[in-house]
């Protein structure tokens, strides 16, 4: 990448663009990282790299991530907030959320009945 510092980001792969976006965000030393579907449209290897970055970064930053991928939420989250049609339905630590959901809508979403 050293020889491509002045190339436009549009010449990078989508995965490289996502990692560049994360690096640019970290450069301003934020307290919180907001990530809206950070692995959407990425190949599995690029998705894994982003997830690995988040696992490492969550030791030093608060990360708020929007995802519709339940497996990803289970892998990365410490705490889950489930929203449906703009309303907070349920929130809980990740294990409690997935193992013992309290709200019927949450149960249906986890089982794949609603999406």
Domain that holds residue 103: 2-111
Q: How many domains does the chain have?
A: 1
pLDDT score recorded for residue 7: 76
pTM: 0.82
Distance CA 62, CA 34 (A): 9
pLDDT score recorded for residue 81: 98
For the chain, which ranges sit under pLDDT 70?
1-5
Distance CA 74, CA 65 (A): 12
Domain CATH number, residue 77: 3.40.50.300
Q: From the centroid of its chain, how far is CA 47?
A: 10
């Amino acid at each position: 990448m050293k020889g491509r510092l002045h190339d436009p980001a549009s010449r990078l792969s989508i995965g490289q663009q996502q990692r560049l976006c994360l690096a640019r965000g970290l450069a301003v030393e934020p307290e919180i990282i907001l990530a809206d579907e950070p692995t959407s449209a990425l190949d599995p290897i690029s998705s894994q790299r982003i997830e690995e970055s988040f696992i490492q970064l969550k030791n030093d930053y608060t990360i708020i991530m929007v995802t519709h991928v339940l497996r990803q939420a289970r892998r990365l989250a410490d705490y889950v907030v489930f929203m449906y049609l703009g309303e907070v339905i349920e929130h809980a630590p990740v294990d409690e959320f997935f193992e013992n959901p309290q709200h019927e809508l949450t149960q249906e979403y986890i089982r794949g009945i609603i999406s």
